[in-house]
Amino acid sequence: MSSQRVNVPSVRLSEVLDVDDTLPIAPIVRQCWLKDLQNPLRWFILPVLRILCTIILHIIYFVKRLIPIQFSAHGILQWLICFFMEYFVSPEANLLIIRHFGTESNLINFIIANSKNSDVPLAQHYPETIWELMEDSFVMHDQALFRSFRDLGPTKDEEWPKDPSQIDWSTWKDIDVTLEDCTKHWTQFLDFDTAHELFKSTFCFWLTAQEYQDAINSFQLDQSVALRIGRILGDPEFQDLTHNRFPLVLTDTISLSYRFALHGLFVEHIHEMLDQRRVEAQGA
């Protein structure tokens, strides 16, 4: 018997990612990220740009660490970031960036509310538009995480896991950033990764060497965030979502953009998982 080959259309990765909810994520985030992945700049410009921008970043960082006189200008840095986002970064990438401040603040505040030192000041970074980032500084965003973990102290005396009925959701806020808030000009065409590559050297230049080192190593606390949330809920699944691990090991700038993207997606996945738990708990 002769076998006849049946031509079956190939399934594209984007088709799978569009329906795979194994890792929960907010629908608007999935929509924006998948569209961002289709930006042609990722295939033609980003590979070359990544090499050039990484070389420039290493030179700036080396010089900043070498010279004894350190300087920073947070106001200038924030204005440049906001201007760059408004005029050049795509609406989808802008939404992902702006959302990140609120989603991570929710995670920090959830940990605080369910820890023994629940009187630690809450994170207050919930911007909804590009220019609100002038107040919600990228540097202060990292500092909110550092201060919270420092003030919370060790976890050895925590009474975790908590009974589901005792979980405190009072600090949780809805994230209401929309694409309309992020769309301003016809010149907005840069995808998330290309925008980060273009701006990472500027970020380094306008910070002191110590501030920049703290910023790029703040991603390593992803594992600590996931472990604390998992222990509060009695669910070890949360820690499986972390790529940036072991905060005692300081990292370099070579894989910065990759770790930056994974940090953003980690926060979104954890946030959606927690939000689903919150809805279930409040509906019970």
Nearest Cα neighbor of 97 from 275, 268, 259 is: 268
18 contacts: CB under 8 Å, gap ≥ 6 = 30, 34
Q: Classify residue 22: in a domain, yes or no.
A: no
Count: domains in the chain? 1
7 within some domain: no
Residue 140 lies in a domain: yes
Condensed to tens digits (0 to 9), the pLDDT of residues 185-222 reads 999 999 999 999 999 999 999 999 999 999 999 999 99
pLDDT at residue 278 is higher than 80: yes
Average pLDDT over residues 46-75: 93
| Residue 109, C-beta contacts closer than 8 angstroms, at least 6 positions apart | 122, 123, 171, 172
Question: Within a domain: residue 185?
Answer: yes
* Domain presence at residue 147: yes
For residue 250, pLDDT over 90 is answered with no
List pLDDT tens digits, range 3-21: 566 778 889 888 899 999 9
**226 domain-assigned:** yes
Domain-embedded: residue 144: yes
By the 8 A CB rule, do 209 and 64 touch?
A: yes
Phi, psi of 89 (to 5 degrees): -90, 135
Average pLDDT estimate for 87-95: 97
Q: Within a domain: residue 57?
A: yes
Domain that holds residue 145: 43-283
